[in-house]
Chains A and B, each alone.
Chain A
Amino acid sequence: MKKFIKWILSGWMVILFFIGFFLFWEYSIIFFDVPKYILPPPSQIFVKGSADLDKLIYYTGITALETVLGFTIAIVLGLGFGIAISFSSILRRTLYPFFVSIEMTPKIAFAPLFISWFGFGLLPKVIIVVLVCFFPIVLNAILAFNSLSNELTLFYQSTGASRIKTFFKIRLPAALPQCFVGFKYAGINATVGATIAEFIGSDKGLGFYISIVTGNMRPDLAFAGIFFLTCLGLSVFAFVTIMEKILMPWHISMKRLNKQ
C-alpha cells in the first residue's frame, strides 16, 4: 500500500498528463464541433463502451488467449532453436542465415494465407502470433548464447566442468538479459499479430470487434476496443518485465533505472 502511494506520488506528472490529454480531447471536440461519428469524445467512449462491456471482456479473453498461446509457443520454439543454432556450427551455417533472411519479410503478409489454409478458428491466429514473435526471440537468443565473454569461457574451461553444468551455471544466466530483449520486442508484436489476424478473418476477438463496429460507423465502440487491446498489450509487457525482475534481480541496466 505504501509502495502504491509512493508510486502514485512519483507518477503524478504522468497521471496529470493523461487527465489533461483526455480533457483536451473532450473539450476540443465540443469547441471545434467535430461530428461524433468521426471522433467521439472520451465520455461517450466510456458510456457506450460500458454498455457493451460483456462483449468487450469476452473478446478480450479470446484475443488474450491467442496472444498468450502464440507468445508462449514462440518463446519455447525461439529459445530451443536459438540454443540449438548457437551450439551447432552446421545449423549456424544453414538455419541461421535462413532465419535472418525470413526476418526481412513482414510476417503479417502471411496472415491471409494462413486464414485460407486453416479457417476462421483459433489455430491460424496462434500461428500468426507465433510467426510474429518467433524471429525476434530466436535471433536475440542466438546473439545471447554466442556472446559469452572470452574470460568466462576460459574460466569454465579451466575448472573442467561438464557442458551441462556450464550451461546452467554460466551460459544460461549470462544469456538471459539479451534473451529478454527479444521477449520484450516479441511481447509488443504479439497483440499486433493477433489483432491483424482477426481483422483479416474471424468471428470473434477484439480485432474482429473493432473492424465490425468501425464498419457500422461506431468509432466510439472502436475506441473502447482499442482501449481493451492497449490493456492487453500492457499486461503482456508488464508480465515480461516482472519475469525479468524475478529472474534477474541483479541485472545492471535495471539497477540503474531503479536508482534514477
Chain B
Amino acid sequence: MIDGDRSPTIAPPERTPNTLVKRIMTEIHLSDYLEQDAIELDLKGDTKQKVLTEMVGLLGVEAESRNIALELVMSRESLGSTGIGKGIAIPHLRSTIFPRIMLAYGRSSEGVAFGSIDKKPARHFFLVASPPIDPSNLYHPILAKIVQLVKESKNRKKLDSIDTKAGLLNLIDELAG
C-alpha cells in the first residue's frame, strides 16, 4: 500500500552479490558529496544538540529548512545514537528538504558526549543527508564507506592531523576515493 512510490532500496549485504557491493564501493567517491563549505575543523558546540545544530548549518540548506533538518537528525538520534565509538559519530537523515545526497564533516577538539557505544566523547562528525527517495541507492553505501574509512586507527589519526579544509578533502580522496 505504501510501497507504490518508493524506489527499491539497496538489498541487505547478504543478499547482494559481493562483486556488486565491491563495484558500488569503489565507484563512490565521498569527496563528490562533500563541499569545502560543509567542513568545519573547529566545532564550538559543547553538547550533542549544539554540535548537531552546527553540523546541519554546514549543509547549506535554506534557513527555513534547517529546523526541519535538526528535528529529523534528533529524531534519528532518539532511535539510538549514531556515535559508533572511537570518537566517531555519523549522524544521518533522509528528508524531502534535500534535493540530493550531501555530506558535512566537523571536528571538535574537546569532543562532546554523544551517547556513543563506548561512552567516549565524539570528536569527528560525518553528517549524511539524503532525499527520501534516492534513485541511485547511495545512502547505505555512503554510510558503509564512511564506517570503513574511520574503522582504521591510522585513518583517524590522519583526520586529527589535518589543519585545512582542502587538506581534509585531499585526505578523504586519498583514503576513500
Chain B binds chain A: no
Contact residues of B with A, CB < 8 Å?
A: none
Contact residues of A with B, CB < 8 Å?
A: none
